[in-house]
Structure 1
Amino acid sequence: MMYAVVITEFGGPEVLQVEEREIPEVGDNEVLIEVSAAGVNRPDIFQRKGNYPAPAGVVADISGLEVAGVVVGVGKAARGVKVGDRVMALLAGGGYAQYVAVDAMLCIVIPDHLPFVEAAGMPETIFTVWHNVFERGELVKGERFLVHGGAGGIGSAAIQLAHLFGAEVFTTVGSSDKISFVQELGASAIVNYKESDFEEVWSGVGMDVILDSIGGSYFEKNINILSEEGRLVVINAMQGAKVELNLIKMMQKRVHLTGSTLRSRSIEFKRSLADAIRRQVMPLVDKGAYKTPIAEVFSYKDASAAHALMESRFFQGKIILGF
Structure 2
Amino acid sequence: MYRNIPTNLITGFLGTGKTTTILHLLSQAPVGQRWAVLVNEFGRIGVDGDLIQAEAVDHAEVFVEEVAGGCLCCVGSAGMQVGLNRLIQSSKPDRILIEPTGLGHPAQLIEQLTGPYYDEVLDLRATIGLVDARMLNDPRYTSHPNFQDQLHLADVLIGNKLDCYTDADRSAFYSLVNAQGSAKKAAAMVAHGNLKQAYLDEPRLERIALFPEAHAFNTDTHHHHHGHEPPAGDWHRIEGAADGFYTASWTLPTDALFDPACVRQIMVFSGVVRMKGFLPSSHGHMRINATQGGWSEEALEQQMNPRIEMIGTDPLDWRTIEQQLRGCVENAC
| Fold shared per TM-score above 0.5 | no
Q: TM-score, normalised by structure 1?
A: 0.33
Q: TM-score, normalised by structure 2?
A: 0.32
